[in-house]
Amino acid sequence: MMVMLCEGVAYDWSTVHLRTVIHASAAASALAYGAYATRRRPAA
C-alpha cells in the first residue's frame, strides 16, 4: 500500500517539477503525466 502511495506522490510532484523548474507549459506537463501514468508495466 505504501508503495502505491509513493508512486502517486511521484506522479504529482513530477508535474509540479515540470511546471516550476523546467518551465514547461501546462499542456506539456499534462501530456508527460498521462504518458507516464499509462505506460506498460511488466507482468508480475
Domain boundaries of the chain, sorted by first residue: 2-34
Q: Please report, in angstroms and rounded to a whole number, the separation of the first and last CA atoms in the chain.
A: 16
Q: Convert the pLDDT of each residue in 1-44 to its tens digit.
A: 777 777 778 778 888 889 999 999 999 988 988 887 777 666 66
- Cα separation, 26 vs 32, whole angstroms: 10
In this structure, which amino acid lies at residue 36?
Y
- The model's pTM is 0.62
Specify whether the CB–CB gap between 37 and 15 falls below 8 A: no
